[in-house]
Amino acid sequence: MDIRPFSRSFTQQEPIPEDAIAAAVEVMRTGRLHRYNTAPDEVSQVSVLERETAAWQGSAYALACASGGAALRIGLRAAGIGAGDVVLTNAFTLAPVPGAIVAVGARPVLVEIDENLCLDLDDLQARIAAHRPAAVMASHMRGHLCDMDRLSDICAAESVPLIEDCAHTMGARWRGRRSGSFGLAGAFSTQTYKHLNSGEGGLLVSDDPAFMARAILLSGSYMLYARHGAAPGDAWFRDARLDMPNTSARMDNLRAALLRPQLARIEDAVRRWNERYQAVAAVLAECARIVLPHRPPEEEFVGSSIQFRLPGITPEEARTFVRDAAALGVELKWFGDREPVGFTSAHQSWRYVEPQALPRTDATLAGLFDVRLPLTFDLGDCDHIARIIVSCAGKPMPENRP
């Protein structure tokens, strides 16, 4: 089959909506970009964003931060995690996750993922028993939610605080409940490649007032915590205010102004991402070699990217497949590559984490591929991309070629 090349960019997001641009320009006109620089009786854009985030999430409290990684770091430290503690996390995640654990002086212990890219909960239980971790940081990498009921039951039964990394699940739900509300806290990223775009940024949500008071102080609140948008009452800060170091990781009003109109429209973005995901998935499902991850009915995901496996593919075949697809304009990531090219999710490349044997994860990643689905692609683009993938996956592999 002859197929025409695809020529659009896989990293081009939609423009910032005009009302968000207008709000950002308004902030610039005032000159009051810092979250605590407000006129009398003015509530800052950051505080309003925190209020709107908490209302949207259904959480008691929210804190806007400088990045998703900063939200994870603050979350760990506010949970009391520090030097010498063990934190369990997914063996398949992005570097900011083990990075946050290492940054608070703790030791990441990696947990296997299964063939559907979810945390292997039997392995989690075994590693809780073996390591007595101070926390579990569950990373919903590429938007795949494990059995969240079982995960929260395990953590509750073992009295281990659960912090969720929701960088790829902002807007996703498990049995109707929003990702980020299954444990002590949930952290989101508003970096350009995630579900809201402020260039950089992060959000931390929780229902625990003592935790959130510590988190706000850690973010660098200069004793102005009473001016936060979704914060616990003053009494919660009384002791912590002198105990918590300032780690200066606040969000500014410009970013908050960009984010508020996007948050108001996130359900529409989720719907459009899922249309694109379904368009690609339907074509990939026709190819006998390609295995799509199973997605349980409890999971309402956000299809901002799609993953698929070619089980049994050799490294040489995988490189050829990626090269063939690239020649037709389709940018695939292959997670089995030992050299982290354009990604930072290979656990072997985290030399700041003790090496661990993770055979199930490695076997899954050896045949795992990934494509971004930016909202600038229309459904025709998605069909086109999927047909290129199928045509490259269906080609005879090198050793069979004449």
Amino acid in the structure at residue 383: D
> Which residues within the stretch 131-190 sit at the binding site for ligand PLP (CB under 6 A)?
139, 141, 165, 167-168, 189
Instruction: Answer yes or no whether residue 93 interacts with ligand PLP by CB under 6 A.
Output: yes
Note whether 374 binds ligand PLP by CB under 6 A: no
Q: Interface with ligand PLP includes 202 (CB under 6 A)?
A: yes
Rule CB under 6 A: choose which of 97, 163, 240, 389 binds ligand PLP: 97
Contact 112, 358 (CB under 8 A): yes
167/217 with CB nearer ligand PLP: 167
Q: Which of 20, 68, 112, 325 binds ligand PLP (CB under 6 A)?
A: 68
- Considering only 54, 77, 96, 198, the residue that binds ligand PLP (CB under 6 A) is 96
- Looking at the Cβ atoms of 93 and 181, the one nearer to ligand PLP is 93
Nearest distance from residue 155's CB to ligand PLP, in Å?
A: 19
- Binding of residue 252 to ligand PLP (CB under 6 A): no
Among 191, 197, 274, 305, binds ligand PLP (CB under 6 A): 191
Among the listed ranges 93-101, 124-132, 170-178, 271-279, the one in contact with ligand PLP (CB under 6 A) is 93-101
By CB under 6 A, the count of residues binding ligand PLP is 16
On whether the CB atoms of residues 370 and 46 are closer than 8 A, the answer is no
Does the footprint of ligand PLP cover residue 94 (CB under 6 A)? yes
Residue tagged 């992005």 (tokens)? 94
Q: What phi-psi label fits residue 159: left (phi over 0), alpha (psi between -120 and 50 degrees) or beta?
A: left
* Minimum separation from the CB atom of position 138 to ligand PLP (A): 11
From candidates 67, 198, 253, 262, binder to ligand PLP by CB under 6 A: 67
CA-derived radius of gyration, the chain: 22
Q: Measured from the CB atom, is 111 or 313 closer to ligand PLP?
A: 111
> Is 87 a binder of ligand PLP (CB under 6 A)?
no
Q: Which residues bind ligand PLP (CB under 6 A)?
A: 67-69, 93-94, 96-97, 139, 141, 165, 167-168, 189, 191, 194, 202
